[in-house]
Structure 1
Amino acid sequence: MSLLLDLPLITDPWFYAVSIPAVLLLGLSKSGFGAGFGSLAVPMMALAVTVPQAAAILMPVLLVMDLLGLAAFRKDFDVPMLKFLIPCGLVGIVIGALLFRALPAHVVAGLVGVFTLLFLAQRLLFPPKPGSAPPPRWVGAILTATSGFTSFIAHAGGPPINAYMIPMRFSPVKFTATMAVFFFVINLSKWVPYGMLGLLDMRNMATSLALLPFAPLGVWAGVKVARRIQPGLFYRLVYAGMFLTGVKLVWDAVAHAG
C-alpha cells in the first residue's frame, strides 16, 4: 500500500467516487451481464478528468477484465463470427487513431448516443418477426467498424456492435463469449496508438493500478448472473443498459456544446 501511495497517482477523492462505480459497471459489461453499461465508464470518469485521460486510465483495467472474460468463456465463442468481426473492428481502430486529435470526444459520444437510441426505437417499434433474417453482412461491417472507432475514442464500442449482434439471437453465453474475444483483440490493438499519442504516462498508469482491485469484482458478479439468467430477461437488460448509455452520452454532448 505504501508503494502505491508513493506513485504519482490521482489523489482527488471525487475522481475515485465516480471511477470505482465506473470500473464495477465496466466489469458487469465485460462479463456480458448489463452489456451497454460499459460505455458509461468513460462518461462517468469524465466528470472528474478529461475523456482522453479517462480512456487511458482504463486501458490496464480493460486488459485485466478481458483476460478474466476470456478465461470464463474460453470454450463458448463463435469462431466464424469472430473471423468476420475482428478485421472490421480493426479498421475502425485505425480510423479512430487517425482522427483522435481532430475530432472532439464529446461529438463522438453524442453520435454514439443518438445511434443507440435510434436502434432501440427501431427494435421497440418494429420488432423482428419470428424467422426474420438477421442484418446483412455489409450492415454488420459498418456497425463493427463503427464499434472499433468509438471504442478507440471513448471505450464505447458496445452499442454499435450490439446493434448487429443482438438480432443474431445467440444464446447469452455464446453472445458474451464472442464479445469477450472481440473486445480483447480490439482493446489490445489500442495500446500502441495510445502510447504514440502520449496517453500512457506514469500518472495515468499509477491511477489505473489503484483501480485494478475493483476490476475482477464486477466481472465475477456478471459471469455468475450471465450463466443463470433467462435469454429474454438477458436481452431486456441489454436494452435497458443501452438506453441509459444513449441518454447519458447525448446529454453530455448537448451540455458540452451548450
Structure 2
Amino acid sequence: MTTLPADALAWVALAVGAALVGFAKAGISGTSSIAIVLFAAVMPPKASTGALLTVLILGDLFAIRYYSRHVEWRLLARLAPWVAIGTAAGAVVLYYADDAAMRPIIGAILLALLALQLLMKAQRRDSERPPLPPLLRHGAGAATGTAAGAATMLANAAGPVMVLYLFLSGFSKLQFLGTMAWFFLAVNLVKVPISVGLGLISWTTLIMTALLLPAVAVGALTGRAVVKKVDQRQFEVATLAMTGVGAALLMV
C-alpha cells in the first residue's frame, strides 16, 4: 500500500469496518467478517489483508484491556504449533497469489467459515453439552490451529474457527473473551513481519491505521457496553447473512 484512499466513501467504509472490528473484539464475535468484506471492497485485496491486520491488532489491545484476566493459557499452548503450521502454509499461498486470485480466495474462506458459524449455532441448541473428551479435544485442537493459522494469514478470518472450538470446549463467556483476545494478539503480532516481508504493510498502512483508531475505540466501547443487552440470536443471524452476501460478492 503506497497511497491513502482519496475517496470519502472509501474512508466511510474503512471507518465502519474498523468500528466493527472493535465491536467484534470486545463484544459479540462475528462482525469482523463484515470488516474483511469492506476493506477488500475499497482496497486491492492483498493490500487489504495488511491494512486490516494492523486494525485488528488495535482491537486485540482493547479486548485484552477488558478481559485479560480470563485467558486459558494451556489451550493457547496446545494450539500454538498447529497455528504456526497453518500460518506458514497461508503465507506461501499469499506470496504466489495475485490480487485477482485473492478476491475469490477471501470469499471462499468466508463462505467456509460461515458454514462453521451455522454449525456452531446448531450445536448451541444443546445447552447441556459436555466438554470435548481428551482425544477428540486434541484432534480438534490440531485441526483448529492449522485452519485458524491459514485463515488468518490469507484473510484475517480465523475468528469463526476459534469461536466454534472454544464453544465446543465448554468455555464460559469470560474465558471465551479472554482467550480469544490473547490468541489473536499473539497470532496477529507474529503475522506482522511476514506481512511486511510480503509488502502488505508499509508506513502508509500504519498512518491509515492511526487515523482509524477512533473508530476502533468507538466499536470496542460499544461492544463492551451492549454485549449483555442485545438479542444475540438476532444479531448473529444478521451478521451471518451479511457475511454470506459479502463473501458471495467477492467470488463474483
Code of the aligned partner of 1:62: L
Give yes or no for the alignment of 1:73 onto 2:94: no
Displacement after TM superposition at 1:182 (Å):
0.2
- Report how many aligned residue pairs link the two structures: 244
Code of the aligned partner of 1:206: I
Displacement after TM superposition at 1:193 (Å):
0.7
**Most deviating of 210-219 and 105-114:** 105-114
Q: CA RMSD in A?
A: 2.6
Candidates 46, 49, 60, aligned match of 2:54: 60
Residues 170-196 of structure 1 show CA distances to partners (whole Å, capped at 9, x for unaligned) of 221110110000000000001111111
Code of the aligned partner of 1:224: A
Residues 42-82 of structure 1 show CA distances to partners (whole Å, capped at 9, x for unaligned) of 21122211122222222332222222211211211112211
* 3-state secondary structure, aligned to 1:68: helix
**Most deviating of 112-121 and 138-147:** 112-121
Question: Do the aligned residues in 2 keep the contact of 1:37 with 1:245 (CA within 8 Å)?
Answer: no
Question: Do the aligned residues in 2 keep the contact of 1:112 with 1:249 (CA within 8 Å)?
Answer: no
List aligned pairs for 1:24-35, cutoff 5 A: 24-31=19-26, 33-35=27-29
Displacement after TM superposition at 1:101 (Å):
2.6
Give yes or no for the alignment of 1:194 onto 2:195: yes
* 3-state secondary structure, aligned to 1:19: helix
The aligned residue for residue 130 of structure 1 is 128
Give the alignment's TM-score, normalised by structure 1. Answer: 0.83
* 3-state secondary structure, aligned to 2:95: coil
The aligned residue for residue 19 of structure 1 is 14
The aligned residue for residue 111 of structure 1 is 108
The aligned residue for residue 144 of structure 1 is 145
Residues 147-171 of structure 1 show CA distances to partners (whole Å, capped at 9, x for unaligned) of 1211111211111222212222322
* 3-state secondary structure, aligned to 1:57: helix
Code of the aligned partner of 1:42: I
Code of the aligned partner of 1:152: M
The aligned residue for residue 47 of structure 1 is 41
Percent identical pairs in the alignment equals 21
Distance 1:30 1:21 in 2: 14
Distance 1:67 1:160 in 2: 20
* 3-state secondary structure, aligned to 1:75: helix
Residues 89 and 229 (structure 1), Cα distance of their counterparts in 2 relative to 1, 3 Å cut: farther
Residues 242 and 10 (structure 1), Cα distance of their counterparts in 2 relative to 1, 3 Å cut: closer
Runs of at least 4 residues of structure 1 off by over 6 A? none
Candidates 221, 237, 251, aligned match of 2:248: 251
